[in-house]
């Protein structure tokens, strides 16, 4: 039985979905205001431009509305609805920044919204029921897992790790050896994309903070990504930690491993 708890602290999926719906209403309201302000065109060209503009906005909003509906249905039914997948990506891509802005307006913590988004994403990915070979899976982790005092450079080559056990990188290498997955340690989005291009995975398990995970999930779409939040006992981007059990849950969801 695969646990649904792939991110800590647990976030409620309905927060992000509710903000998406609220963002849709806000955009529709702005479209209505725009129509009101432009509702008295003086020339035929202005009339045509108004009709085209309003038509385009309404079409986009219909697509986004179906996308939000697809997200809700997929989570509710726990089943992938393939025809709605592109619309769901469009809805998230267009309304994610609006949802963040709307959350700030109502004084909702941005990281809380992003945790909710990661939970929504993980739930959507789990409905795909993928079963891959370990070699088709990439485990991406942030460089801040390395102990800050370590003199060995491992971002370009993780095998430079001396396996002293002083930081979680040793645990990543243990996972690689036991489960047979590819592992990359990234300093940012550029290096993460390099690993994706190099290994050409069918799916990714990504460890990061809320900011990097939410942006990385969107950048990687439609590649399935399961997100696992890192642990930050010393603050952000400094000697961060991981929950090995949660990382393995995510890997075993994707990959058919024997041990």
CATH no. for residue 149? 3.40.50
Shared domain check, 100 and 172: no
Shared domain check, 142 and 122: no
Shared domain check, 107 and 150: no
Residue 6, pLDDT > 50, answer no
Q: According to the model, what pLDDT value does residue 41 have?
A: 66
Shared domain check, 89 and 159: no
- Does 1 fall in a domain? no
| Alpha-carbon span 191 to 208, nearest angstrom | 14
Sheet order of strands, 225-229 included:
182-186, 137-142, 203-208, 225-229
Specify the pTM.
0.86
Peptide bond into 258 cis (omega under 30): no
Percent of the chain clearing pLDDT 70 (strictly above): 92
Shared domain check, 244 and 144: yes
How much of the chain is in helix, strand and coil states, percent to nearest 5?
60, 10, 30
The mean pLDDT value for 42-58 works out to: 79
- Does 3 fall in a domain? no
Q: Which residue has the higher pLDDT, 21 or 49?
A: 21
Question: Of the candidates 126, 150, 177, which is a domain's last residue?
Answer: 126
Shared domain check, 201 and 230: yes
Q: Which domain holds residue 239?
A: 134-254
- Does 73 fall in a domain? yes
Shared domain check, 205 and 159: yes
Shared domain check, 190 and 143: yes
Shared domain check, 140 and 112: no
Shared domain check, 72 and 119: yes
Residue 14, CA distances (Å) to 19, 29, 72, 75, 116 in order: 8, 22, 9, 10, 8
| Alpha-carbon span 151 to 124, nearest angstrom | 40
Q: How many domains does the chain have?
A: 2
The mean pLDDT value for 195-206 works out to: 94
Question: Of the candidates 85, 110, 126, which is a domain's last residue?
Answer: 126
Shared domain check, 142 and 91: no
- Does 2 fall in a domain? no
The mean pLDDT value for 127-154 works out to: 91
Residue 141, pLDDT > 90, answer yes
Residue 122, pLDDT > 70, answer yes
Q: How many CB atoms lie within 10 A of CB 253?
A: 22
The mean pLDDT value for 90-113 works out to: 94
Give the confidence band of 163 by pLDDT, cuts at 50, 70, 90.
very high
Residue 259, pLDDT > 70, answer no
- Does 34 fall in a domain? yes
Shared domain check, 72 and 44: yes
The alpha carbon of 201 is separated from its chain's Cα centroid by a whole number of angstroms, namely: 16
């Amino acid at each position: 039985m695969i646990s649904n708890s792939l991110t800590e602290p647990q976030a409620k999926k309905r927060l992000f979905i509710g903000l998406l719906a609220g963002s849709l209403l806000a955009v529709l309201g702005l479209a209505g205001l725009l129509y009101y302000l432009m509702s008295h065109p003086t020339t035929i060209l202005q009339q045509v431009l108004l009709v085209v503009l309003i038509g385009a906005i309404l079409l986009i909003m219909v697509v986004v509305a179906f996308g939000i509906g697809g997200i809700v249905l997929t989570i509710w039914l726990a089943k992938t609805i393939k025809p709605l997948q592109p619309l769901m990506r469009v809805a998230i891509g267009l309304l994610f920044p609006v949802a963040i802005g709307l959350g700030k307006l109502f004084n909702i913590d941005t990281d809380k919204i992003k945790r909710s988004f990661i939970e929504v994403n993980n739930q959507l990915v789990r409905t795909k029921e993928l079963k891959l070979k370990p070699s088709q899976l990439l485990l991406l982790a942030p460089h801040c897992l390395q102990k800050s005092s370590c003199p060995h450079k491992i971002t370009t080559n993780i095998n430079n790790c001396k396996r002293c056990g002083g930081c979680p990188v040793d645990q990543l290498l243990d996972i690689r050896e036991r489960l047979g997955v590819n592992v990359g340690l990234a300093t940012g989005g550029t290096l993460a994309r390099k690993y994706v291009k190099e290994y050409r995975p069918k799916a990714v398990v990504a460890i990061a903070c809320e900011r990097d995970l939410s942006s990385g999930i969107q950048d990687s779409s439609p590649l399935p990504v399961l997100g696992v939040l890192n642990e930050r006992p010393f603050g952000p981007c400094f000697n961060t930690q991981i929950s090995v059990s949660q990382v393995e849950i995510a890997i075993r969801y994707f990959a058919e491993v024997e041990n």
